[in-house]
Amino acid sequence: MAPTDLELVEMARRAAEQAYAPYSGFRVGAAVLTREGDVFTGANVENASYPVSSCAEATVVAYAVAQGNRAIDTVAVACIDARDVEQAYPCGRCRQILAEFDTRRILVSVSDGPWREHTLGELLPHRFRL
């Protein structure tokens, strides 16, 4: 059975605890629900060469796609060190990554409390396409 939104957000929060973020101290987790109903989780993985770092969304989407998935239903993102939900939104690069696999919904959250739900079109209108 597909997870509820609350379950997906909780998975993202748990995934954030596995983040490798010694440079920023900003731990992010993400949980992907594919259109086929499978779930994958990931976290941000930083590097001493800062730009080499991988955001949580990029980590988990690459993982899900490498397992054969091509369409994403929902992505829950949890920034467990964010001061508020405004600081927890996916970066621009990650929005383009989510767009590539037609992500339908994005749930944005911090370490506890309510989350916000958005469509991809709300977060990335006029996405780049070839």
Spell out, one character per residue from 87 to 116, where the chain touches ligand THU: x when CB under 6 A holds, - when not: ---xx--x----------------------
Query: Contact between 57 and ligand THU (CB under 6 A)?
Result: yes
Could you give the 3-state DSSP secondary structure of residue 20?
Answer: strand
Interacting stretch for ligand THU, rule CB under 6 A, among 3-11, 23-31, 61-69, 112-120? 23-31
Query: Contact between 24 and ligand THU (CB under 6 A)?
Result: yes
What is the size of the binding site for ligand THU (CB under 6 A)? 13
Nearer to ligand THU, 76 or 94 (CB): 94
Look up residue 105 and give its two tokens. 């919904």
State how far the Cα of 26 lies from the Cα of 80, in Å rounded to an integer: 8
Query: Contact between 55 and ligand THU (CB under 6 A)?
Result: yes
State how far the Cα of 66 lies from the Cα of 68, in Å rounded to an integer: 5
Q: Annotated catalytic, 7? A: no
State how far the Cα of 124 lies from the Cα of 118, in Å rounded to an integer: 10
Nearer to ligand THU, 54 or 69 (CB): 54
Picking from 89, 73, 92, the residue whose alpha carbon sits closest to that of residue 5 is 73
